[in-house]
């Protein structure tokens, strides 16, 4: 009972634009990686490196990006959806959610890489945490409308299910093999579990409820 109460104990609600600080940190590390090219190798999650003592990589991989487009897409997603989730959760809860799901998505990827012998695969980017944020957005506001390409309106749960379907198909059929589809899916899974354990909310009831 005591453990359950600690896990469910809420933070006092505060809002201080944590999303913007995370975006700024990502931009800063991206700029630093251009000034010091070897920095990216130290930050990216590499199974062989982690096992040799680079234990910080399940955290730092979230701040390393392959190129400017990779950074731009991730930061735009974080800005548009992260700010809304942060307002609903509060900044402290959002920081816990973002970093915990991101780190666990990295750990899940590490386990898969080791199990499949992909010792020298480099995982980098904030996508695992951002996919967790996408699911959180749909759970927090399941009636929200997203305009695909700025034109086609779709509800947030449909968007999330669509992304999940694309990631599963891409993994099964090896589309865009350089993209870490399993990391994205791990972000979804950890976000789902976070709402179940931390808030006692069944995401399925929020996402699939009748309008």
Q: What is the pLDDT of residues 34-58, one digit of tens each?
A: 899 899 999 999 999 999 999 999 9
- Residue 170 is predicted with a pLDDT of 63
Confidence band, pLDDT 50/70/90 cuts, at residue 210: low
Domain presence at residue 130: yes
Domain presence at residue 18: no
Dist. CA 46–CA 64, nearest whole Å? 12
Confidence band, pLDDT 50/70/90 cuts, at residue 147: confident
- At residue 20, does pLDDT exceed 70? yes
Domain presence at residue 17: no
- Residue 153 is predicted with a pLDDT of 81
The CATH number of whichever domain residue 151 belongs to comes to 1.20.1540.10
Confidence band, pLDDT 50/70/90 cuts, at residue 183: confident
- At residue 88, does pLDDT exceed 60? yes
Strand partners, 45: 123
Residue 13's region, left for phi above 0, alpha for psi from -120 to 50, else beta, is: beta
Dist. CA 97–CA 92, nearest whole Å? 9
Q: What is the mean pLDDT of residues 84-95?
A: 97
- Residue 50 is predicted with a pLDDT of 96
Residue 136, domain extent? 23-207
Dist. CA 116–CA 127, nearest whole Å? 21
Dist. CA 188–CA 66, nearest whole Å? 22
- Residue 175 is predicted with a pLDDT of 45
Domain presence at residue 3: no
Q: What is the mean pLDDT of residues 105-110?
A: 94
Domain presence at residue 13: no
């Amino acid at each position: 009972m005591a453990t359950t109460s600690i896990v469910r104990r809420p933070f006092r609600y505060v809002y201080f634009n944590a999303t913007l600080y995370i975006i700024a940190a990502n931009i800063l590390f991206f700029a630093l990686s251009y000034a010091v090219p070897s920095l990216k190798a130290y930050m990216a999650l590499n199974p062989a490196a982690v096992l040799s003592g680079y234990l910080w990589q399940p955290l730092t991989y979230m701040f390393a990006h392959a190129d400017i487009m990779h950074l731009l897409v991730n930061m735009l997603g974080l800005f548009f959806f992260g700010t809304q989730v942060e307002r609903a959760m509060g900044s402290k809860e959002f920081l816990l959610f973002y970093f915990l799901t991101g780190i666990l998505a990295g750990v899940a990827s590490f386990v898969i890489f080791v199990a499949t012998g992909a010792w020298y695969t480099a995982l980098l980017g904030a996508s695992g945490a951002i996919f967790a944020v996408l699911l959180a957005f749909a759970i927090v506001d399941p009636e929200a409308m997203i305009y695909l390409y700025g034109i086609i309106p779709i509800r947030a749960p449909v968007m999330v299910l669509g992304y999940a379907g694309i990631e599963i198909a891409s993994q099964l059929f090896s589309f865009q093999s350089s993209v870490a589809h399993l990391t994205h899916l791990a972000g979804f899974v950890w976000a789902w579990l976070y709402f179940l354990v931390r808030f006692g909310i069944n995401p399925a009831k929020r996402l699939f409820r009748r309008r």
